[in-house]
Amino acid sequence: MSFKDKYRAEMQNVRPGARLICATGQKMAAKKAAAGKTRRIRNSALAVACLALALGLPAVCQTGDADEPAAAGGAAPTQSRLYAPGPTNVRFDENKLRLPLPVETSHPVADRSLAADGRSLSLTAEELARSEVCAAYLPPTLPEDMRLAAATLYLPRASAQTPFAPGDSLLVRYTDGRFDYLTVRISPYTAADAPRLAEADRPETWDEALYDLPLSASIPADMWQQVTDPIFPAQDITAEIVQRLAGESDQNARYLRFGVKAGDMLLEYTAHTPDIAGLWQAISETPALQ
């Protein structure tokens, strides 16, 4: 008898017991059921997430601006929001997304009931132009090649009756269609903005260029908000300040960001443009800043 035959004969007697097979079958069935349950929960969660994303997507995609604070109910922007495709990549049916009522020009900005779900409301150029108060805070002329790209009204507290309550904002974005843009955010000035209020005659309160790198080490802590994100009273802002904020750069386009307090409202400008003079002209001609 060969070794092979002996070995085979030996191993023929080695077999799993019935109890082992039964126990294994039960464990497999239990594990399979648990895996199916987990999969169902995961699929349900995915479906809910997709639904939530679909509901929240219009506000994000129509503005396409991650700078804007949370649009839906004041919630912090999530990763899905930040990475949501921009308006150029997504095509929506405007008639389905747009709320059915026209904008009320009697309201300072728009009829709050239009955004009764507490979400954002996109305005067309005509709707924007019809609002007298809006026009008061927006530049009547624009830097060369700039055009209106989007105007979005954020009303996170739709139930409130006060027009333009704290937290409300109107974001208007102009672009040259390529890389340059100007964004104007209009919102009520609140006490929370006070630490950012800079003094025009004290450049150390608003000119970042006066500080050495790293800024976190050189800017005093109590001046951090002023220097990094300054707000100027409307009567103090000048062309020289805007020019200094834009800084000197070998590159054509400059990036700058600052706010202007105009009465009870705060106008925040974020711009990327080589035409600083044109930018200042546009800002300075804003009726509310006259």
Partner 1 sequence: MVMTAFGNAPPEQRDEAAQTELEQLIARNADLVYRLAYAKSGCREDAEDIFQQVFLRFISRRPRFDSPEHERAWFLKVTANCTKSFWAAARRQKHEPLSDNAPAEEQPKSELAEALAQLPPDARVLIHLFYYEGLTAVEIAELLSRRASTVRMQLTRARRRLKEILADDFMEGDDLDEL
- Contact positions vs partner 1 (CB under 8 A): 2-4, 6-8, 10-11, 14-16, 20-21, 23-25, 27-29, 31-32, 35
DSSP letters spanning 20-52: HHHHHHHHHHHHHHHHHHHHHHHHHHHHHHHHH
**CA separation for the pair 34, 23 (Å, rounded):** 16
Which one, 32 or 202, has the nearer CB to partner 1?
32
> Which residue's CB is nearer to partner 1, number 25 or number 247?
25
Contact 87, 75 (CB under 8 A): no
Contacts of 236 (CB under 8 A, 6+ apart): 199, 200, 201
* Complex with partner 1: residue 34 or 210, whichever CB lies closer: 34
Minimum distance, C-beta of residue 16 to partner 1, in the bound complex (Å): 4
Nearest distance in Å: CB 36, partner 1: 9
Closest distance between partner 1 and the C-beta of residue 33, in Å? 9
C-beta closer to partner 1: residue 3 or 83: 3
Shortest reach from residue 13's CB to partner 1, in Å? 9
Smallest distance, partner 1 to C-beta of residue 19, A: 9
Closer CB to partner 1, residue 31 or residue 42?
31
Which CB, 43 or 113, lies closer to partner 1? Answer: 43
Identify whether 214 is preceded by a cis peptide bond (ω within 30 of 0): yes
CB of 26 to partner 1, least distance (A): 10
CB 48 within 8 A of CB 54: no
Residue 46 beta carbon to partner 1: minimum distance, rounded to whole angstroms:
19
Residues ≥6 apart with Cβ < 8 Å to 289: 234, 237, 260, 262, 267, 283
In the bound state with partner 1, the residue whose beta carbon lies nearer, of 19 and 96, is 19
Provide the token pair at 114: 């239009």
Q: Do residues 183 and 270 lie in contact, with contact meaning Cβ atoms separated by under 8 Å?
A: yes
DSSP readout, 144-206?
TT-EEEEEEEE-S-TT--STT-TT-EEEEEEE-SSS-EEEEEEEE--GGGGGGB--TT-GGGT
